[in-house]
């Protein structure tokens, strides 16, 4: 019901009153459906196209293998793995400006097309590393925060659907990309991905729309000092830092034991890149399809987890859901990964870890909106994701050092990695009980 009231002249001109009314309407009402679901679909397409089947993000291990065998056989592994990690690092470092620039610049298609014609390592550093990393930084924080402008009741569920796109895109790429490379070569494979991305971006962009009134768009603020002075913000930031650091520890262990690719093992998605190699180590003699199956299972389980836990977050509260998801992800490493020795065990680990490991990313915006409000979410989400970067830099060396010091003892590394992720969940307790003291409250 809408109530009409007289507006005193002291409030200003009719245009000023109109803008104030728009602000009130934006703050107090959310469609929670309708046009918002089309926005979610557009964001889902972007998520699948960039973080999902993007050739750097989820299939870098395959790309590096092709480089090593066919293009750069004399280039050291450290150089190629550094190339793979660059896009992930630039994505986190650039996230702080994403909320201001994401709707003005998309360079993903250009970087893919340029990479198709590269012949030297330094050229791939510029295209697959720098350009794609910047494009991810511009796109991803926007698409995970945009649904929050349209949804309140179903905010976490809508964001979970968007982020699930990266897992579904990863499942597709894990089955398709290797076959494309082996039959068509790198240039034609990248050209095909570029064409698919261009069509997907055009469709997704047509569906996406900001609901925030134009007059409410804030001035560019690169660092909001108010956040850095808030202990609750640091509680969230440390939660994300330890979550990413935990998985990089386990990834470093896998890489050291199996001489596998480490460069593209970004954050919580680390086991995604190394799962086929891990499967070959524990279950030798399997066909290529069976070796790839755990990776597909993990990606599909991650998609289901992001949607289901997003739905639960709207009922139980996003902070509660984030706390439970991170804790269970850590416990999965402690209890399951420690004892995996068979193919069946790998499948079980893929299902459980996949279901919980990526949920923190889909809940970032919902948690930030719950604690700080929905306005300027893209910038805040990017700032929180910036705390992934130290994990990228420190996790691998620490994990490798632990594994070397313990004589390649997997149990020690799995236990330590799981414990660090549980520590991330404990860091979140401060934010949870500072803002909501009741234990069973939906928050």
pLDDT digits (tens, 9 = 90+) for 356-393: 877 777 787 778 878 877 666 656 766 776 776 666 55
Per-residue pLDDT tens digits for 147-177: 878 888 888 888 888 888 877 887 777 678 7
Short-list 51, 39, 325, CA closest to 168 = 51
Dihedral of CA atoms 146, 44, 393, 133 in degrees, nearest 10, equals -90
Residue 425 CA to residue 242 CA, distance in Å, equals: 9
Model confidence at 405, in pLDDT bands (50, 70, 90)? confident
Burial class of residue 19 (count of CB atoms within 10 Å of its CB; 0-12, 13-18, 19+): middle
Model confidence at 395, in pLDDT bands (50, 70, 90)? low
**Superfamily per CATH, domain 31-209+223-435:** MFS general substrate transporter like domains (1.20.1250.20)
pLDDT above 70 as % of the chain? 63
Short-list 262, 261, 405, 242, CA closest to 333 = 242
Q: Which residue has the tokens 């986190």?
A: 92
Model confidence at 399, in pLDDT bands (50, 70, 90)? low
* 408, two tokens: 């390649």
Examine the pLDDT at 38 and tell me if it is beyond 50.
Answer: yes
Dihedral of CA atoms 7, 10, 13, 18 in degrees, nearest 10, equals -40
Domain definitions of the chain by residue range: 31-209+223-435
Strand positions, DSSP E, 260-334: none
Tally Cβ neighbours within 10 Å of residue 343: 16
Residue 43 CA to residue 168 CA, distance in Å, equals: 13
Model confidence at 429, in pLDDT bands (50, 70, 90)? very high
C-beta of residue 313 within 8 angstroms of C-beta of residue 320? yes
C-beta of residue 256 within 8 angstroms of C-beta of residue 77? no
Q: Which residues neighbour 401 within 8 Å (Cβ) at sequence distance 6 or greater?
A: none
C-beta of residue 358 within 8 angstroms of C-beta of residue 163? yes
Q: Which of 27-41, 52-66, 153-167 has the lowest mean pLDDT?
A: 52-66
């Amino acid at each position: 019901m809408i109530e009409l009231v007289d507006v005193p002249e002291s409030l200003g001109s009719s245009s000023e009153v109109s803008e104030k009314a728009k602000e009130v309407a934006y703050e107090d009402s959310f469609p929670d459906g309708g046009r918002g679901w089309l926005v979610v679909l557009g964001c889902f397409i972007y998520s699948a196209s960039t973080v999902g089947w993007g050739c750097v993000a989820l299939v870098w291990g395959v790309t590096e293998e092709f480089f090593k065998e066919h293009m750069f056989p004399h280039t050291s592994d450290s150089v190629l793995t550094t190339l793979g990690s660059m896009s992930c690092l630039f994505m986190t470092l650039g996230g702080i400006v994403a909320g201001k620039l994401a709707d003005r610049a998309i360079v993903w298609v250009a970087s893919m097309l340029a990479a198709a014609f590269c012949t030297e390592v330094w050229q791939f550093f510029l295209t697959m590393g720098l350009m794609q990393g910047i494009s991810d930084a511009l796109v991803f924080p926007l698409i995970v925060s945009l649904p929050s402008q349209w949804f309140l009741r179903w905010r976490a569920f809508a964001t979970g659907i968007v982020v699930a796109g990266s897992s579904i895109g990863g499942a597709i790429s894990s089955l398709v990309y290797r076959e494309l490379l082996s039959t068509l070569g790198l240039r034609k494979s990248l050209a095909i991905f570029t064409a698919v991305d261009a069509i997907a971006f055009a469709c997704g962009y047509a569906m996406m729309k900001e609901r925030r009134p134009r007059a409410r768009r804030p001035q560019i603020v690169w660092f909001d000092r108010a956040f850095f002075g808030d202990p609750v913000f640091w509680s969230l930031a440390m939660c994300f830092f330890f979550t990413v650091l935990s998985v990089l520890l386990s990834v470093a262990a896998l890489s050291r034991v199996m001489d596998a690719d480490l460069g593209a093992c970004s954050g919580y998605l680390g086991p995604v890149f190394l799962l086929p190699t891990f499967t070959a180590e524990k279950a030798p003699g399997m066909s290529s399809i069976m070796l790839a199956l755990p990776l597909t299972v993990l990606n599909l389980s991650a998609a289901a987890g992001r949607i289901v836990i997003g739905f639960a977050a709207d009922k139980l509260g996003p902070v509660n859901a984030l706390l439970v998801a991170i804790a269970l992800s850590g416990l999965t490493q402690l209890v399951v990964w420690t004892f995996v020795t068979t193919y069946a065990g790998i499948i079980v680990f893929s299902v459980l870890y996949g279901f919980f490991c990526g949920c923190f990313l889909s809940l970032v915006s919902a948690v930030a909106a719950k604690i700080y409000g929905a306005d300027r979410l893209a910038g805040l989400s990017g700032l929180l994701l910036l705390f992934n970067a130290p994990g990228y830099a420190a996790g691998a060396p620490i994990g490798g050092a632990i594994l070397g010091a313990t004589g390649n003892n997997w149990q020690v590394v799995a236990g330590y990695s799981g414990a660090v992720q549980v520590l991330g969940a404990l860091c979140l307790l401060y934010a949870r009980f500072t803002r909501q003291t009741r234990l069973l409250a939906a928050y």
